[in-house]
């Protein structure tokens, strides 16, 4: 395994965005675990969720590590920080080369497809032509699907988790409300202190949809402490955690990107786009997810010509792919094993 998995690289190309503008001097921060083999047949691309980082082995150690299903002794694992985030890749907290000042609120609107194009450019920069597996949950799953749509011949297999083909009206309604919670604290988007106060509340609201009623009842019930319900204390704690580590500008940028997610955006129908993606795919839904209900994902998966669907049975809601990692690994293992056997047979032939 590499001693220093963190890397940062300049793409040295203009990135054209869907909002009819472009970004110059885009940098991508990423972590790389393991060693690329001679045939470049062991590349795994791991994409994080909304507020995640490129340090994938830290937040997904149930899947990534020695003896895990994504073992760096077997795979070359690349985990980029997504465009628009605040953990090293170009985003609102980066310097705009045109002005010499931080982008902040002036950072352009982006979509998961824009993020996908940046990741494909990263692969180009690293001279990686093929990816054995691309995997990600939530926003990361959106980007996985967009990459497979843009460059289907580049991927041997994909695993999108807790995501379907587009943001529904219900998800749009709640996401826009969460963003407005931040903006309402400072409509000018200039006062970071006020925006962080908004972010603190926005995260509390979002956490209600990321988890489930069953989990809250099991963990907190109606227990109280210091005159407040324990579930209130939990939400307050989550709010404090996010303002200590994340940018309100990146939160606004990436939640808006998720709202704009539509795999058929400016193309054919969703059914036609899915039918054109013949990459072997495993779609994973979560039994307790209220954001992307498993029934929706299962129906979506059936649109793809070479796909399978599995349910992760867990009570932790949308976040179960981050919480119930050992169970998720067992859901994915058979699919990954089949893909590995096929790759080995092709290498022999």
- Active-site residue list: 138, 289, 318
- Residue 152 contacts residue 305 (beta carbons within 8 Å): no
- What's the rounded Cα separation, in Å, for the pair 190 and 28? 26
Q: Residue 4 — left, alpha, or beta (φ > 0 → left; ψ -120 to 50 → alpha)?
A: beta
- What's the rounded Cα separation, in Å, for the pair 103 and 202? 22
Beta strand 158-161 pairing with 133-137: parallel
Written as six digits, the tokens of 199 are: 């972010």
In sequence order, the 6+-apart residues with CB closer than 8 A to the CB of 68 are: 61, 62, 329
- What's the rounded Cα separation, in Å, for the pair 177 and 203? 11
In sequence order, the 6+-apart residues with CB closer than 8 A to the CB of 58 are: none
- Residue 162 contacts residue 318 (beta carbons within 8 Å): yes
* 13 three-state secondary structure: coil
Tally of CB atoms within 10 A around 137:
30
Quick one: which H or E segment has residue 281? strand 281-286
- Using CB atoms within 10 A of its CB, is residue 337 exposed (0-12), middle (13-18) or buried (19+)? exposed
């Amino acid at each position: 395994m590499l001693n220093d998995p963190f890397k940062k690289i300049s793409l040295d190309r203009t990135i054209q965005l869907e909002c009819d503008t472009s970004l110059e001097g885009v940098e991508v921060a990423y972590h790389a675990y393991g060693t690329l083999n001679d045939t470049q047949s062991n590349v795994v691309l791991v994409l994080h969720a909304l507020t995640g980082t490129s340090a994938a082995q830290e937040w997904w150690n149930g899947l990534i590590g020695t003896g895990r299903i994504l073992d760096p002794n077997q795979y070359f694992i690349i985990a980029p920080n997504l465009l628009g985030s605040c953990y090293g890749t170009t985003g609102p907290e980066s310097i705009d080369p045109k002005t010499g000042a931080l982008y902040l609120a002036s950072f352009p609107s982006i979509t998961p497809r824009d993020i996908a194009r940046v990741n494909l450019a990263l692969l180009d920069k690293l001279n990686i032509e093929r990816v054995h597996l691309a995997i990600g949950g939530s926003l990361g799953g959106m980007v996985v699907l967009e990459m497979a749509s843009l460059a289907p011949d580049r991927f041997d297999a994909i695993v999108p988790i807790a995501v379907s083909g587009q943001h529904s009206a219900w998800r749009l309604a709640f996401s826009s409300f969460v963003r407005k919670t931040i903006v309402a604290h400072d409509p000018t988007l200039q006062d970071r202190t006020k925006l962080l106060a908004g972010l603190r509340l926005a995260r509390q609201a979002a956490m209600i949809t990321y988890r489930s009623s069953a989990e809250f009842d099991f963990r907190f019930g109606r227990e109280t402490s210091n005159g407040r319900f324990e579930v209130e204390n939990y939400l307050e704690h989550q709010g404090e955690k996010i303002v200590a580590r994340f940018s309100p500008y990146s939160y606004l940028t990436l939640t808006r990107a998720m709202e704009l997610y539509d795999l058929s955006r400016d193309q054919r129908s969703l059914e036609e786009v899915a039918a054109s993606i013949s990459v072997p795919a495993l779609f994973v839904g979560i039994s307790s997810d209220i954001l992307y209900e498993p029934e929706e994902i299962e129906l979506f998966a059936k649109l793809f010509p070479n796909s399978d669907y599995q349910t992760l049975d867990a009570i932790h809601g949308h976040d179960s792919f981050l919480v119930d990692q050992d169970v998720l690994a067992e859901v994915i293992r058979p699919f990954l094993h089949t893909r590995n056997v096929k790759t080995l047979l092709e290498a022999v032939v």
